[in-house]
A and B are shown apart, each in its own frame.
Chain A
Amino acid sequence: MTTVEDGSYEKFLPEGIPASQMPFWESLRAHDIRVQRCDRCETYRYHPKETCPTCQSREATWAPLSGLGTIYTYTIVRRAPTAAYVSDLPYALVHATMGEGFRMAAGVAELDITGLRIGMPVRIVYEDITPDWTLFRFTSL
Chain B
Amino acid sequence: MGELQDAAVAGVYQSEQGDLSSRDQADVWWEAAEGACRDAGMELADIDGLVGNGPNGIGLRSHMPGAGLAEQLGHPLRFHAKSESGAGSPLAGLNLAAHAVTQGLADAVVIVNAVAGAGEGYTSSDRDASVAAMAKLSGPYEYVYGTTRVADYAVFAMRHFHEFGTKSAQLAEVAVAQRHHATLHPLSVNGRRGEITVDDVLNSPMIADPLHLYDCCVINQGAGAMIVTKATHVASLGRHPAVVLLGYGEGHSHLDPNSVVSMTECPAAKLAADTAFGMAAVQRDEIDVAGLADHFTIGVILGVEDAGFCGRGEGGSFVEGGGIGLDGHLPINTSGGHLSFSHAGFCGIFTAIEVVEQLRHESGERQVDGARVGFVTATGGAQQAHAAAVLARA
Report which A residues bind B (CB closer than 8 A).
11-17, 46-47, 72-82, 85, 88, 91, 93, 95, 103-107, 118, 135, 137
Decide if A73 touches B145 in the complex (CB within 8 Å). no
Decide if A13 touches B151 in the complex (CB within 8 Å). no
- A–B pairs, 8, beta carbons within 8 Å: A13-B144, A14-B144, A46-B258, A77-B147, A78-B207, A105-B256, A107-B145, A137-B145
Decide if B158 touches A73 in the complex (CB within 8 Å). yes
Decide yes or no whether B257 CB sits under 8 A from chain A. Answer: yes
Closest to A96 in B: B258
Decide if A78 touches B144 in the complex (CB within 8 Å). no
Decide if B132 touches A81 in the complex (CB within 8 Å). yes
User: What chain A residues lie within 8 Å of B156 (beta carbons)?
Assistant: 73
Decide if A105 touches B205 in the complex (CB within 8 Å). no
Closest to A133 in B: B144
User: What chain B residues lie within 8 Å of A105 (beta carbons)?
Assistant: 141-142, 145, 256-258
Which one, A11, A14, A72, A93, contacts B263 given CB within 8 A?
A72
Which one, A15, A74, A104, contacts B155 given CB within 8 A?
A74
CA distance A77 to B151 in the complex (A): 7
Closest to A80 in B: B146
Report which B residues bind A (CB closer than 8 A).
131-132, 135-136, 139-148, 150-151, 154-156, 158-159, 162, 205-211, 256-259, 263
4 smallest CB-CB distances across A and B, nearest first, come from A81-B135, A75-B154, A107-B145, A14-B140
Decide if B140 touches A76 in the complex (CB within 8 Å). no
Which one, A73, A78, A104, contacts B206 given CB within 8 A?
A78
User: What chain A residues lie within 8 Å of B147 (beta carbons)?
Assistant: 77, 81, 93
CA distance A138 to B155 in the complex (A): 16
Decide if A79 touches B135 in the complex (CB within 8 Å). no
Closest to B216 in A: A79
User: What chain A residues lie within 8 Å of B155 (beta carbons)?
Assistant: 73-75, 93, 95
Closest to A107 in B: B145
Decide if B257 touches A81 in the complex (CB within 8 Å). no
User: What chain A residues lie within 8 Å of B144 (beta carbons)?
Assistant: 11-14, 135
Closest to B159 in A: A73
CA distance A83 to B245 in the complex (A): 45
Decide if B140 touches A17 in the complex (CB within 8 Å). yes
**Of residues A77, A78, A81, which shows the largest number of chain B Cβ atoms within 10 Å of its Cβ?**
A81
Closest to B255 in A: A47
Decide if B258 touches A47 in the complex (CB within 8 Å). yes
CA distance A16 to B156 in the complex (A): 27
User: What chain B residues lie within 8 Å of A72 (beta carbons)?
Assistant: 159, 263
Decide if B259 touches A118 in the complex (CB within 8 Å). no
